[in-house]
Amino acid sequence: MKRYLSYVLLMFCCFSVYGQSMQEQGKSWTFAFYGDDSSENFQWSIAGNSNGQNPDVLSEVIWTKLKGAGVGLDVDLNIWSHIFFKGSYHKAFIRSGTATDHDYAADNRTQPTYAAFLKSNEGHTSRYSIALAYELKLHELFTVMPYAGYANNRQVLSLKNFEEDKGGKQLNSSYQTDWNGPLAGIDLQVARLRRISLNAGFSYQQLRYTGLADWNLIDAFNHPLSFKHTARGFESQVLLRLNFNINSFCAVYLRGEYRYAETGKGIDQLFLADGQERESRFNGALRKVKGIGAGIIFSIR
């Protein structure tokens, strides 16, 4: 935490140096630093073959209440007239969570052949986005900013036993995802009072999804890549930010967000230790993320 505070102080000094020149050019830069706590649920399943049969759900893994603290930065740079560059980055470190792993022999999740209740208290998630936006001031108290760009979301998740087996190899499986694609959205700002304003953001993203797994205890699987999932999907996001202006240069704020992402059906590629490969249907992935946090905004105009 001390390291992050030192970064904020350093940036504060830099902004003070450049503030006067930005005012002379009539442009504005906004930098919003924040910390947050997030919680997410995530799951995927595969079928027994490429036709989605034998059975319709062969294996299913569900992660629940993956919680962790994160830090982020949102940037709005007025590059020309009413055109802005928007950039954001966020990273969260998972400190607690659970998971279930089930295998089935018949359709509709019947005749279970394997069931495990596991912990998932390690790993991290990250995301970044870049976009171009156009500012529309519809009223002195109301501003609209539509934008379009590109975004990438990643997860690094773990699967471990709650109790370690001292006599053998430990479960230490991992699943890594990459969700990326074009992004479109709109930001709304409403100035309620002289020192209080409200921002609301809505975005939609078309996704290409990739999931890479290392199931470390299954000797018949290849390592470190045991199987790969590919599919297409989407993500939607709602973001609310309540700003309390200290002065024209600085403000503090509270923020809350919700993200929902899912994929359609895709391909599950299994890589065996003897070099063979098999394919089945990837039934899809589903992800829900919610977070709440607070931060500080530096504005140069």
Domains and CATH numbers, the chain: 2-300 (2.40.128.90)
Kindly report the average pLDDT of the chain as a whole number: 90
Residue with the larger pLDDT of the pair 3 and 110: 110
What's the mean pLDDT in 25-47? 90
What's the mean pLDDT in 71-92? 95
Condensed to tens digits (0 to 9), the pLDDT of residues 210-261 reads: 999 999 999 999 999 999 999 999 999 999 999 999 988 899 999 999 999 9
pLDDT band at 8 (very low <50, low <70, confident <90, very high): very low
pLDDT at 20 over 90: no
pLDDT of the residue at 10 = 37
pLDDT of the residue at 27 = 64
Condensed to tens digits (0 to 9), the pLDDT of residues 152-163 reads: 999 999 999 987
* Residues above pLDDT 90, as percent of the chain: 79
Q: Of 285, 278, 229, 280, nearest to 54 (Cα)?
A: 280
pLDDT at 3 over 50: no
Query: Is the separation of the CB atoms in 42 and 31 below 8 Å?
Result: no
pLDDT at 297 over 90: yes
Condensed to tens digits (0 to 9), the pLDDT of residues 247-286 reads: 888 999 999 999 999 999 999 999 999 999 999 999 999 9
Listed as own residue / partner, the contacts of 74-81 with beta carbons closer than 8 Å and 24 or more positions apart are 74/30, 74/31, 74/32, 74/34, 75/29, 75/30, 75/31, 75/32, 76/28, 76/29, 76/30, 76/133, 77/29, 77/30, 78/27, 78/28, 78/29, 78/135, 79/27
Structure token pair of residue 20:
């006067």
pLDDT of the residue at 261 = 98
